[in-house]
Amino acid sequence: MDDALDHLRLTQWLSPAFPIGGFAYSQGLEQAITDGAVSDAASLRDWVLSVLTHGSGRMDAILLAHARAPETDIDALADLARAYAGSAERAQEMADQGRAFGQTIAAMTGVAQPPLPYAVAVGHATRALAIQTPQVLALFLQGLAGQLIAAAVKFVPLGQTTGQQVLADLGPALLAQAETCATEPLCALGSACFGAELAQMQHETLDVRIFRS
């Protein structure tokens, strides 16, 4: 029963309904849509898959996995996460979502949570859950994919069904990435998702913006 409750807790914490403001961020996807780089389901799938396997998704998954380890220096890991932020908007997103996540967890559990970047905050909060790290990462990565897809559904625009199909198609890749990132060392941190990184930087000066990143 305890394991089942922990799974329910994790699902709740990583649900799109959990109040971290994820709907307000696109991680540069708004810029990519404006530029025409993402315009349909196929290009959206390629963009999100790249973020998950080579960009911020992979980085956050590795950081989250290390944050779950009891022996990890959580403050040092948080500093490392901030140092790897590729743009001002990315750094702000990590901080804002992490703060909102920690405040909500603290209010629900009565256990104070330190202000941490979002992925590190999730890892720290899930230390006590009886759930294997690959399962935590799979739900975390699905949440990120859902956040980006929801942004595209609104702004391309794409139909809701199309968006759900893209998310479903990413399932096998999400599971594989979760298994890989669960055991990656910190020296494996690094991003090769240049299009998304540049789009996040360019988004800072986009004249009309719906999203904050």
Q: Long-range contacts for 79-82 (Cβ within 8 Å, ≥24 apart)?
A: 80/186, 80/189, 81/116, 81/117, 81/119, 81/120, 82/117
pLDDT at 208: 82
Residues contacting 208, CB < 8 A, separation 6+: none
Phi then psi dihedrals of residue 117, to 5 deg: -55, 150
Looking at residues 76-91, what average pLDDT do you find? 96
pLDDT in tens, 128-144: 999 999 999 999 999 99
Q: How far apart are CA 62 and CA 141, in angstroms?
A: 11
In order of their start, the domains of the chain are: 39-203 (1.10.4190.10)
Looking at residues 66-70, what average pLDDT do you find? 97
Q: How confident is the model at residue 1 (pLDDT cuts 50, 70, 90)?
A: low
Looking at residues 146-162, what average pLDDT do you find? 95
Q: Is the confidence at residue 58, as pLDDT, over 90?
A: yes
Calculate helix-pair angle for 160-169, 133-155, nearest 10 degrees.
150
Q: Is the confidence at residue 44, as pLDDT, over 90?
A: yes
Highest mean pLDDT among 44-53, 106-115, 195-204: 44-53
Looking at residues 24-35, what average pLDDT do you find? 95
Q: Is the confidence at residue 54, as pLDDT, over 60?
A: yes
Q: How far apart are CA 19 and CA 27, in angstroms?
A: 18
Burial status of residue 182 (CB atoms within 10 A of its CB: 0-12, 13-18, 19 or more): buried
Q: How confident is the model at residue 2 (pLDDT cuts 50, 70, 90)?
A: low
Looking at residues 44-69, what average pLDDT do you find? 98
Average pLDDT, the chain: 95
Looking at residues 155-167, what average pLDDT do you find? 96
Q: Is the confidence at residue 95, as pLDDT, over 90?
A: yes
pLDDT at 134: 98
Looking at residues 19-33, what average pLDDT do you find? 94
Q: Which residue has the tokens 């391309």?
A: 156
Q: How far apart are CA 84 and CA 188, in angstroms?
A: 12
Q: How confident is the model at residue 207 (pLDDT cuts 50, 70, 90)?
A: confident
Looking at residues 185-202, what average pLDDT do you find? 94
How much of the chain exceeds pLDDT 70, in percent?
A: 99
